[in-house]
């Protein structure tokens, strides 16, 4: 098994020269798509852009080796930045760095405890809604870059989109977004015009990240301050990373280790906090872009991080001249390709509850700009609809045998907190028969509410002088009844 795991890990790094070339080029595209969003999210969190860029570099390096999902691009993400903003505002940057390290430790613990199983509760409708909402948010994030700008910017965006969609008809050796960046940068340098460049988005770092412990008191008071934020950052980051990994699984028709992704992200965030960066997670927009342009292995993740370092320092003067219009065009393409257009058609074909869950996930996510809130609402609705559907399948049928003066209630279906009251209402507690038999052969008792409902029915009937017999309990139900209501069986 260890040999198989090692062989698979090697294949995730290198599976041929052609794949390696695609990984390298796709990773470079991912870097350029990463920069504007990381800078924007840094402003959301109230920190300097270099803090977000340092974090993205450190997270990318560590997650390339320790992550559970090849080809994922991880960095300083908006959902985590929203959580961190209040801490930065109240206590400053170094408390954020301490919270980042603690959030990483929480995530490592979650991974070791296999808490990634919670992803099983995320239905396909929620995932589709998550992807569609993300596509809308990616596009809406570009809108500010298209307001109060000159006509030159619109022309550059249009030209960038034309290059992105037409260049593959000529060659696929170089990803068209990379061609878009090079061509539009060359045009803007050769023909100066009033357009925004990356230099206008924020100050790029001029030095490499360095190791340093957060400058905070290491006492219980500090822990009380940072722990709530660290836990929230850990939970939000894991949720977004798990959702991103699931989307990549679907796009590539492969599987990944979600538990390993949890621990890998935790290690990456610990490293980010110790090198002056904010906590991060999987970035689905950049990841989808990486996948769309050929990234499949861990090499693409590593290249995205290493190239970001090159962009931050040695190539800083050149990168500062890249037009924002080129990045906007790339992200518009990513949003269009990310949106599941077939899901709109499927609203008429799929069950209504599935459509409601998907639409609700989109609406909540777009309204709050919080991916975790949308997923939480979607999962909650999925659970409620599922419980309601299972409740309707529960049935109680009664038959009477005059010779023995016995009424038999045959119960079928699942009895749990949502169906327990319906189950109890199906019995005539003042039954005129002297003997009652409750046959649970075709049913299952799931929880304390179900056992309580059965106990209540039996107790009341016996109180009215009726002889009650309970039969057909399966092993699990019998154990539950014996432990919680032993009098029912007597």
Name all contacts of 250-258 with Cβ < 8 Å and 24+ positions apart.
250/127, 251/288, 251/291, 252/71, 252/291, 252/296, 256/68, 256/69, 256/70, 257/68, 257/69, 258/68, 258/69, 258/116, 258/119
Cα-trace Rg, the chain: 29
Integer Cα distance of 296 and 281 in angstroms: 18
90, 284 Cβ separation under 8 angstroms: no
Structure token pair of residue 265: 């992200």
Provide the 8-state DSSP code for 115: G
68, 255 Cβ separation under 8 angstroms: no
What is the pTM (predicted TM-score) of this model? Answer: 0.71
The dihedral of CA 412, 418, 423, 426: what is its sign? negative
80, 236 Cβ separation under 8 angstroms: yes
The phi, psi pair for 282, rounded to 5°, reads: -65, 135
Instruction: Give, for all 490 residues of the chain, the pLDDT tens digit.
Output: 466 677 778 888 887 888 888 889 888 887 877 776 677 667 667 777 788 888 889 999 999 999 888 988 998 876 687 778 788 888 888 999 999 999 999 999 998 988 777 777 778 888 888 878 878 877 887 788 888 888 998 999 999 999 989 988 887 767 787 788 889 989 999 998 898 887 776 667 777 788 888 999 988 999 999 998 898 888 888 888 887 888 888 888 888 888 888 999 999 999 999 998 888 888 877 888 888 878 888 999 999 998 888 877 777 788 788 888 888 888 788 788 778 888 888 888 888 888 899 999 899 988 887 777 888 898 889 888 888 888 888 899 999 988 889 999 999 999 999 899 999 999 988 778 889 999 999 999 999 999 999 999 999 998 888 899 999 999 999 998 988 888 776 5
Q: In terms of Cα–Cα distance, which of 298, 273, 282, 247 is closest to 66?
A: 298
Side-chain half-sphere of 389: how many Cα atoms within 13 Å? 10
């Amino acid at each position: 098994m260890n040999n198989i795991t090692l062989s698979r890990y090697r294949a995730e790094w290198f599976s041929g020269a052609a794949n390696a070339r695609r990984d390298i080029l796709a990773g470079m595209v991912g870097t350029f798509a990463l920069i504007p969003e990381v800078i924007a999210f840094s402003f959301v969190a109230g920190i300097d852009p270099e803090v977000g860029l340092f974090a993205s570099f450190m997270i990318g390096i560590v997650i390339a080796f320790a992550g559970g999902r090849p080809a994922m691009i991880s960095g300083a993400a908006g959902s985590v930045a929203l959580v961190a903003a209040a801490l930065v505002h109240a206590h400053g940057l170094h408390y954020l760095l301490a919270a980042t390290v603690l959030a990483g430790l929480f995530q490592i613990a979650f991974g070791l405890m296999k808490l990634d199983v919670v992803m099983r509760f995320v239905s396909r409708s929620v995932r589709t809604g998550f992807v569609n909402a993300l596509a809308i948010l990616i596009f809406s994030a570009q809108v500010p870059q298209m307001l109060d700008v000159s006509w030159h910017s619109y022309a550059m965006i249009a030209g960038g989109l034309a290059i992105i969609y037409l260049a593959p008809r000529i060659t696929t050796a170089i990803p068209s977004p990379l061609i878009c960046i090079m061509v539009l940068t060359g045009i803007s340098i050769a023909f100066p015009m009033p357009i925004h460049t990356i230099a206008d988005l924020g100050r790029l770092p001029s030095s490499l990240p360095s190791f340093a412990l957060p400058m905070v008191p290491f006492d219980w008071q500090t822990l009380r301050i940072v722990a709530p934020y660290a836990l929230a950052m850990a939970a939000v980051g894991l949720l977004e990373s798990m959702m991103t990994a699931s989307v990549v699984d679907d796009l590539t028709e492969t599987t990944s280790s979600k538990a390993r992704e949890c621990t890998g992200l935790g290690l990456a965030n610990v490293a980010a906090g110790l090198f002056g960066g904010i906590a991060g997670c999987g970035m689905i927009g950049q990841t989808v872009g990486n996948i769309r342009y050929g990234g499949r292995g861990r090499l693409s993740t590593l290249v995205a991080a290493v190239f970001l370092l090159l962009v931050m320092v040695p190539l800083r003067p050149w990168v500062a001249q890249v037009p924002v219009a080129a990045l906007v065009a790339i992200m518009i393409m990513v949003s269009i390709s990310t949106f599941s257009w077939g899901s709109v058609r499927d609203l008429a074909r799929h069950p209504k509850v599935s459509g409601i869950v998907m639409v609700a996930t989109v609406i909540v996510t777009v309204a709050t700009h919080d991916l975790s809130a949308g997923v939480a609402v979607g999962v909650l609705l999925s659970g409620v609809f599922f419980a309601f559907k299972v409740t309707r399948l529960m049935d109680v049928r009664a038959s009477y045998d005059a010779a023995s003066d016995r009424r038999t209630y045959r119960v079928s279906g699942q009895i749990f907190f949502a169906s327990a009251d319906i189950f109890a209402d199906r019995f005539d507690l003042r039954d005129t028969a002297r003997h009652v038999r409750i046959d649970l052969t075709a049913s299952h008792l799931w929880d304390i509410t179900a056992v309580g409902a059965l106990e209540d029915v039996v107790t009341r009937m016996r109180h009215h002088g009726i002889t009650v017999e309970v039969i057909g309990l399966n092993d699990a139900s019998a154990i539950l009844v014996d432990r919680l209501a032993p009098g029912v069986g007597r």
